Chains A and B, each alone.
Chain A
């Protein structure tokens, strides 16, 4: 191998720093990937990279051809073992990462470096399949810059101090590429439907809310720092305690959990609102969840296109939400739903098998003490408020009959415990009830002018059927006395995050500053989402329509794109060429001298060197001889000597300006 290396032409031999820079860049590009890849693949790639780094320091550590071949097979087997496939999103990415890492082990000529740097582009682009957030995009912008820098530096021919000379070149290229990138991005025609599919979406885990509610399921969400969605209101946003974001409706309860139950409940129906006031228009950008349900402010009165609004006011998308989804809709805060039919009533009264005697007795007592349905509901809420119920995110484990155990023994839990057991109690009392899963509240981002709804805002509440009023929202969690709310668990679990619904506002200057920063970062994130990630064929069509070229479709778009690229490229070229061919100052001074002498009749011939010309001038006009000789002397020094002195140029310029020949009388 060493012999081979020596055979390379000098300008193909890489410098050690170039190898090091390339390997470092590749490692940096791999870092975010570690979150997604199987640990086996990550470990193999890490080992190969460590070997590579060692080989930069000790070239003898580089494996020979046979070892490399063996390593290639091991790497492939490792990928296969980890993912059971070499295609698909994870399988393909693992294989790509392994192969590029192995390619780094045989970096000999600069050509190998160039190929690796270009192949790195793939590693970057596949990671956008996993995450397209601003943070990662910024990170990869740096990697893209490094790729350009590596290619420029590898080309060489920069003379001494190559890095210092390469940097301005790289900056210039990158900055000039930016406007072109924007033009191409905005105008390049998009596909309205994919050309092929490798089933990338199936190997993604579902995120966010799950389909059923059992004690403990929401607590996982509450400690999750992820964003659920953003909402932007057209008008003044509603009060904080009105922000009940409706998601799933759970009808069926058993000894462990609440679940949607009812077959065919997602069947579209036109829910009837007998009365609705305070219409609110807003827009939601929902983070991908891989689920079908969407969220709306309680209660939606209009549905966005490609969605279904079920009879119990659940908003559902046609297909699972795999990319961020933006939709507009309207809700009413004050509403009255229609009275359900008898079947639905009976369905909403079914009880779990293990309804305990204690629960029955409790409800019996309430029924005796009250005369109306609504009073009974109030009685239930009073119970949660009066008794020693605690709100905690770290509730004790519940046994075989969780509803009973929670109500009479542990008495600490959070929304899902309260909502679940309250709905069971209401059903015992003969009031049809159901549980609604969703989010409560949201963090207003005044910089961006929208609300952030976090996974930690997940909430569960109850809807009770009250005669004459339809389904009425009851939130038993809010009945707990604030003194019995224990948020230590929350703050311990997610640091600065706290469930927004309890207004745990830190007042320290630092935490306010951190909060503001976080909101600013999220505004940028939202803008990124709106203007870049959501940009699609629809926006392009809108743009064309605005230009009045809508009828021509993609052809108009392509035409505009080519024109715009040409114009931008022309501007860049113009900027390049416009740089004046700065004549060096000595030449300029000499030219001035020649002009002044020509004005008095002494024209320099083209074949005449400066010294000859000076000699001729000296003969023709002895009175000029002294100054002309001095000027020519300085000119020759400034123009032709290896290291011209600035002082010479200055005195040359002074002399020439002072020299004012007059015509001979």
Chain B
């Protein structure tokens, strides 16, 4: 709970970081402070120990939609006209439509009442790709619920209907804007059932996160070959030999045979594979070996190195200030390294304000 409060809603964070970067610092911070204060006032359905949030009566917000306003205006005009001309049949009709509106409002509210919501994190993604959460809505009562949507997702939300004791899972996509953990703390569920006159919504407390790997650089210099405490000879046969070392951007004169077509297909541009060294080479993806001044750029280069090393099936390790991941190979090693890079924080870089 306290952790959830400290990590305020990611939508807010995305807003202040992305859209308002041009606004002066004081304005932006004031606005974000106000938003944070407002967010603190919102009622949220807390999560129980099974990870399910159940919507209680006072956690539901409701406001008329535009169509609802039009409807209310229509009813009001009919009412005034019928009153004025003492048309009791017209009055009856106007009152019926008004009553329908009132009843619809309560049905709208009731459609969310007691809904059980749980959220599961999806797999890790690279920065820029959509992070997926699995939102499960379950109906624990006898009556059906209709037109439930999770709002704020990347894709157009598709309404969900739940019969008695039914449950549905929805993929809820969020944009990623930086590496680190993307937290989903608040989930907004909305409904316009039954007549689209009112929109009821509620916030469910969620505790789910998706790990966002850094966006890999297009190309990176070859990693440092293991030259320290190994007994392999450092003899090199020069570039162009058999073993894959890394990749760099294409320069005119490079052999077309060394072009990384797969990288090209992934729209990373023209990249040349660099080969050399011996079979079964061991490399270190090393923070200190890079000269780039921008730490985030450096992390992106390191990420590329990790990916390339794994693609070349090398044994590799990673050294970051304060951490070191020993030599190993395979997908697990890559994930360990990427995780390290995603969560890396040496005090100067700001990895996870999500």
Contacts and interface: CB of A to CB of B under 8 A. Distances in A.
Interface of A: 9-11, 111, 114-115, 118-119, 121-122, 124-125, 128-129, 132, 136-137, 140, 144, 147-148, 151-152, 154-159, 165, 169, 172-174, 176-178, 180-181, 184-185, 188, 190-191, 194-196, 200, 323, 532-536, 565, 569, 572-573, 576-577, 579-584, 606
Contacts of A190: 83, 86
Interface string B189-200: 001111111000
Contacts of A176: 99, 103
B259 interface: no
Given A118-B71, A151-B196, 13 more contacts: A114-B196, A118-B74, A129-B90, A148-B195, A151-B197, A165-B146, A188-B91, A194-B85, A200-B85, A533-B89, A573-B110, A580-B142, A582-B142
Contacts of B113: 577
B241 interface: no
Interface in B75-98: 75, 77-78, 80-98
B78 A181 contact: no
Nearest to B166: A159
A191 B85 CA distance: 9
Interface in B136-159: 140-144, 146-149, 156, 158-159
B328 interface: no
Give me the 9 closest cross-chain CB pairs, A-B, nearest first: A157-B147, A157-B159, A159-B161, A180-B99, A177-B99, A132-B89, A128-B90, A184-B95, A151-B195
B148 A582 contact: no
B93 A144 contact: yes
Given A11-B159, A125-B78, A572 B88 contact: no
Interface in B14-37: none
Contacts of A155: 147, 192-196
B100 A174 contact: yes
Interface string B156-183: 1011110111000000000000000000
B74 A121 contact: yes
A116 to B, nearest CB: 11
Contacts of B97: 121, 144, 147
A9 B99 CA distance: 31
Interface centre among A122, A136, A173, A323 (most CB of B within 10 A): A173
Contacts of A137: 89, 92
B42 interface: no
Contacts, number: 178
Contacts of B193: 155, 157
A474 B70 CA distance: 64
A181 B101 CA distance: 11
Contacts of B231: none
A149 to B, nearest CB: 10
B49 interface: yes
Contact of A129 (B87, B142, B147): B87
Nearest to A120: B74
A606 B95 CA distance: 52
Contact of B88 (A11, A159, A533, A576): A533
Interface centre among A169, A174, A190 (most CB of B within 10 A): A169
Contacts of B160: 157, 159
B1 interface: no
A194 B81 CA distance: 10
A119 B99 contact: no
Nearest to A149: B195
A10 B159 CA distance: 10
A169 B194 CA distance: 8
A129 B85 contact: yes
A559 B155 CA distance: 48
B99 to A, nearest CB: 4
Interface in B106-137: 106-107, 110, 113-114
B63 to A, nearest CB: 16
Given A157-B193, A173-B104, A180-B102, A188 B95 contact: yes
Nearest to A190: B83
Contacts of B74: 118-119, 121-122
B311 interface: no
B140 A577 contact: no
A528 to B, nearest CB: 9
Interface residues of B, number: 61
Contacts of A11: 156, 158-159
Contacts of B93: 121, 124-125, 128, 140, 144
A176 B49 CA distance: 38
B161 A194 contact: no
16 contacts: A114-B196, A118-B67, A125-B81, A125-B82, A129-B90, A136-B89, A155-B196, A157-B148, A157-B161, A169-B194, A177-B103, A181-B95, A200-B85, A532-B92, A533-B88, A582-B142
B102 A569 contact: yes
Interface in B41-78: 49, 67, 70-71, 74-75, 77-78
Given A124-B93, A196-B84, A582-B141, A158 B70 contact: no
Nearest to B164: A582
Contacts of A165: 144, 146, 161
A330 to B, nearest CB: 28
Nearest to B49: A606
Nearest to B94: A125
A227 B244 CA distance: 103
Contact of A156 (B90, B104, B159): B159
A180 B93 CA distance: 12
B82 A194 contact: no
B233 to A, nearest CB: 56
A431 B163 CA distance: 88
A181 B147 contact: no
A165 B166 CA distance: 15
Contacts of B49: 606
Contacts of A177: 96, 99-100, 102-103
A576 B110 contact: yes
A583 B164 CA distance: 10
Interface centre among A180, A190, A191, A579 (most CB of B within 10 A): A180
A173 B143 CA distance: 14
B163 to A, nearest CB: 8
Nearest to A573: B106
A185 B99 CA distance: 11
A572 B103 contact: yes
A159 B164 CA distance: 13
A128 B82 CA distance: 9
Contacts of A159: 146, 160-161, 163
A115 B67 contact: yes
A570 to B, nearest CB: 10
Nearest to A133: B89
Contacts of A174: 100
Contacts of B165: 582, 584
Interface centre among A157, A181, A569, A606 (most CB of B within 10 A): A157
Interface centre among A114, A147, A174, A200 (most CB of B within 10 A): A114
Contact of A572 (B84, B87, B106, B164): B106
A132 B142 CA distance: 42
A599 B83 CA distance: 68
Nearest to B83: A191
A584 B106 CA distance: 26
B143 A579 contact: yes
A191 B91 contact: no
Nearest to A576: B110
Interface centre among B85, B94, B97 (most CB of A within 10 A): B85
Contacts of B142: 579-582
A483 to B, nearest CB: 48
Interface centre among A129, A152, A323, A581 (most CB of B within 10 A): A152
B161 to A, nearest CB: 3
A181 B81 contact: no
A497 B90 CA distance: 31
Contacts of B87: 125, 128-129, 132
B93 to A, nearest CB: 6
B161 A158 contact: yes
